[in-house]
Amino acid sequence: MRTIIIDDERKSIETLKYSIKKYCPEVEIIGDSQDPNEAIKLIEKLQPDLVFLDLAMPEMSGFDLLSKIENPSFEVIFATAFNQHAIEAISYCAIGYLMKPVSNEELIESVKRAKESVDQKNALAKNLQLLENFEDSPLQGKKIIIPTQEGLEFISLSDIVYCEGIDGYTKIYFDSDRQPMLSSKSIGYFNKMLQSQHFFLAHKSYFINLNFVEKYFNEGYILLAHDYKIPVSRSRRNDFLEKIKEMS
């Protein structure tokens, strides 16, 4: 994969270069830049398959840089210090991010995922959705991208009533007449990606959208919209009630 590294710190660029050359032989580094404006020109000129992009640059954030490129049809792996909003925006679109300092194991795994995505040729759609998600909008404005056998499904988070884990897969139920959707990802994947004030792991097999809760029964289950009844693990009941209080 032809790759460009963008980071305002030269030391970070050189450290990442060293790790890539040592652990990721499938990556060919064709350029790097500490200057965001120069980096935009470099991307447009060289048309890379993959870009390692620092989120927190003083002159221009990684998201700002990405938004200035007309057709960002390359895979992106962000390097970032902790920023929950940014990580949520990235995770919803299944785009890689690395926490600084970058571990070799995470680097290898991120490059592997990027290679798979490059082969699928769907980076442009993911990047455009990423930029839309990152805007300071409420839950109903955000979407999650789920790979399917046919391509990509863009699902509004506000349409998801709950997710059910079944033998390593996840069945997703919607607030509409749409039939449930089966994803090859596990319930743990969705819990990690969507855990926020709006979603809650009520049971090891059930992940719910709290906006659809209609009633809680002391026997230990929740009634969701459309008469869905979901069990609540005994160990999760107090946490559930606290979440509901926070939202009221």
Structure tokens at 41: 């020109």
CA dihedral 115, 106, 84, 232 (to 10 degrees): 100
Rounded to two decimals, the pTM is 0.60
Tell me the average pLDDT across 12-25: 95
What's 185's domain CATH number?
Answer: 2.40.50.1020
Residue 149 is assigned to a structural domain of this protein: no
CA dihedral 43, 47, 50, 55 (to 10 degrees): 20
pLDDT at 183: 85
Structure tokens at 161: 């009533």
What's 108's domain CATH number?
Answer: 3.40.50.2300
- Please indicate, yes or no, whether residues 29 and 107 belong to a single structural domain of this protein: yes
Rg of the chain over all Cα atoms, to the nearest angstrom: 20
Range of the domain at 98: 2-134
Q: Hey, what amino acid is at 232? A: V
pLDDT at 247: 78
Q: Hey, what amino acid is at 142? A: K
Total structural domains in the chain? Answer: 2
Band of residue 157 on the pLDDT scale cut at 50, 70, 90: confident
Band of residue 192 on the pLDDT scale cut at 50, 70, 90: confident
Structure tokens at 172: 């997703």
- Please indicate, yes or no, whether residues 106 and 175 belong to a single structural domain of this protein: no
Q: Is the pLDDT of residue 132 over 80?
A: no
Residue 141 is assigned to a structural domain of this protein: no
- Please indicate, yes or no, whether residues 203 and 240 belong to a single structural domain of this protein: yes
Residue 84 is assigned to a structural domain of this protein: yes
Residue 198 is assigned to a structural domain of this protein: yes
Distance CA 178, CA 153 (A): 13
Distance CA 113, CA 133 (A): 21
pLDDT digits (tens, 9 = 90+) for 48-67: 999 999 877 877 878 889 88
- Please indicate, yes or no, whether residues 117 and 10 belong to a single structural domain of this protein: yes
Comparing 243 with 28, the larger pLDDT belongs to 28
Residue 78 is assigned to a structural domain of this protein: yes
- Please indicate, yes or no, whether residues 16 and 97 belong to a single structural domain of this protein: yes
Q: Is the pLDDT of residue 111 over 80?
A: yes
pLDDT digits (tens, 9 = 90+) for 113-124: 888 888 777 788
Distance CA 83, CA 99 (A): 10
165: nearest Cα among 215, 109, 221, 230: 230
The answer to whether residues 152 and 125 touch, using CB atoms and an 8 Å cutoff, is yes
- Please indicate, yes or no, whether residues 168 and 106 belong to a single structural domain of this protein: no
Residue 144 is assigned to a structural domain of this protein: no
Decide: helix, strand or coil at residue 51. strand
What are the C-alpha distances in Å from 190 to residues 12, 132, 145, 146? 31, 20, 11, 10
- Please indicate, yes or no, whether residues 26 and 116 belong to a single structural domain of this protein: yes
pLDDT digits (tens, 9 = 90+) for 215-246: 999 999 999 999 999 999 999 999 999 888 88
Percentages (nearest 5) of helix, strand, coil residues in the chain = 40, 30, 30
- Please indicate, yes or no, whether residues 202 and 91 belong to a single structural domain of this protein: no
Q: Is the pLDDT of residue 80 over 80?
A: no
Residue 89 is assigned to a structural domain of this protein: yes
Comparing 92 with 23, the larger pLDDT belongs to 23
| Average pLDDT over all residues of the chain | 85
Residue 139 is assigned to a structural domain of this protein: no
Q: Is the pLDDT of residue 106 over 70?
A: yes
- Please indicate, yes or no, whether residues 8 and 129 belong to a single structural domain of this protein: yes
